[in-house]
Amino acid sequence: MPGGRLGLQDQFTELGQRAASFHNGPLLLMCLVISAFVLLLLGYTMFRFRRGANPTPSRNTHHTMLEVVWTLVPVLVLVAIAIPSIRLLAAQYSPPPADLTIKVVGHQWYWTYQYPDNGGFEIVSNQLREKGDPALKPGERFRTDADGPIMLATDERLVIPAGKVVKFLITSEDVIHAFAVPAFWTKMDAVPGRLNQEWVKVDRPGVYFGQCSELCGARHGYMPIAVEVLAPAKFDAWLASKGGTPKGAKPIATPAAAATAPADPAAIEQPALTQPVTAQN
Ligand SMILES: [Cu+2]
């Protein structure tokens, strides 16, 4: 991680915070205690029962009490881990009613994001190349620091509103990809012909990065995910800039939006030229 940091990323969803504190607290503590206990026991046994100090080895092969203890204690440890784990898992798979649904589609090797609640427009999100990259076409936009870190910046971001329950329907057009944003505790396979579901509620506006997390071909490492969380008013303004409408807007707006939205994929793929504001704020 940047800055040589160890451990999990900071979490920005409630589930993520729950899961991370479970990992960083009880789980790591248990690992530490068990490892230390085994190490000390091993050290003690090697020292106390070495051949020099203990020339006649014991012939004991059974000890009922010990056997009961070393069976029961691990069972209790596993149960202690399983109860909060299963609760967490259940919470992940029982989403609250969604304020907004977005369809996430993996492609070799980029992502598209569809907004069915907002007029059905689609965002095509490609990785930004570095300045000086020989593959950079004349006039093509290259990455700047405002776009995000190297390898993670995209020309178009997945934009979601802050403080709202957003449901992602995740699928793929070709091979299996995985939609993963570590700061949201989100990782879900994108499987052709299947719809998988994830949900997030992010309260803090900002830009969050992830990557495809299922080996999907030659450019697997070059299909980053950039999520921009905007305050609801700014989100509506962003929707308007894409020809979309807020969810539940009067149907009169819909035909116009539908007519302008999916239009010309080439125009959508080159948004930087027409809408630089979106990527920078
Ligand atoms: Cu992929």
Q: Where in the chain is the domain with CATH 2.60.40.420?
A: 100-280
Q: Say how many Å lie between the CA of residue 262 and the centre of ligand 1.
A: 23
Q: Where in the chain is the domain with CATH 1.10.287.90?
A: 11-92
And the tokens for 81? 């881990």
Q: Say how many Å lie between the CA of residue 210 and the centre of ligand 1.
A: 12
Q: Say how many Å lie between the CA of residue 174 and the centre of ligand 1.
A: 10
pLDDT in tens, 106-127: 999 999 999 999 999 999 999 9
Residue 200, C-beta contacts closer than 8 angstroms, at least 6 positions apart = 13, 160, 165, 166, 168, 181, 184, 186
pLDDT at 262: 45
Q: Which fold has domain 11-92?
A: Helix Hairpins (1.10.287)
pLDDT at 178: 97
**Residue 248 — very low, low, confident or very high, per pLDDT cuts 50/70/90?**
confident
φ, ψ of residue 182 in degrees (nearest 5): -55, -35
pLDDT at 259: 46
**Residue 140 — very low, low, confident or very high, per pLDDT cuts 50/70/90?**
confident
pLDDT in tens, 71-106: 999 999 999 999 999 999 999 888 899 999 999 999
Q: Which residue has the tokens 């204690």?
A: 73
pLDDT at 94: 87
Cβ atoms of residues 178 and 212 within 8 Å:
yes
Q: Is beta strand 158-161 parallel, antiparallel or unpaired with respect to 121-125?
A: unpaired
Superfamily of chain region 100-280 = Cupredoxins -  blue copper proteins (2.60.40.420)
Q: How far apart are CA 168 and CA 188, in angstroms?
A: 10
CA 221, 181, 204, 268 dihedral sign is: positive
pLDDT in tens, 199-234: 999 999 999 999 999 999 999 999 999 999 999 999
Q: How far apart are CA 222 and CA 212, in angstroms?
A: 8
CA 246, 165, 276, 129 dihedral sign is: negative
**Residue 2 — very low, low, confident or very high, per pLDDT cuts 50/70/90?**
low
pLDDT at 258: 46
Q: Say how many Å lie between the CA of residue 156 and the centre of ligand 1.
A: 17
Q: Say how many Å lie between the CA of residue 127 and the centre of ligand 1.
A: 12
Crossing angle of the two packed helices 64-92 and 14-22, in degrees rounded to 10: 170
pLDDT at 1: 55
pLDDT in tens, 14-71: 999 999 999 999 999 999 999 999 999 999 999 999 999 989 988 888 999 999 999 9
**106 to 93, 201, 220, 259: CA distances (angstroms):** 21, 22, 11, 25
pLDDT at 4: 76
**Residue 135 — very low, low, confident or very high, per pLDDT cuts 50/70/90?**
confident
Q: Say how many Å lie between the CA of residue 157 and the centre of ligand 1.
A: 16
Q: How far apart are CA 149 and CA 88, in angstroms?
A: 31
0.85 exceeded by pTM: no
One-letter amino acid of 37: F
Q: Say how many Å lie between the CA of residue 111 and the centre of ligand 1.
A: 8
Q: Say how many Å lie between the CA of residue 110 and the centre of ligand 1.
A: 7
Task: Count Cα neighbours of 18 within 13 Å in the Cβ-side half-sphere.
Answer: 12
- Residue 195 or residue 252, greater confidence: 195
- Rounded mean pLDDT, 240-251: 80
pLDDT in tens, 168-177: 999 999 999 9
Q: How far apart are CA 68 and CA 73, in angstroms?
A: 8
Lowest mean pLDDT among 136-140, 263-267, 277-281: 277-281
Q: Say how many Å lie between the CA of residue 42 and the centre of ligand 1.
A: 45
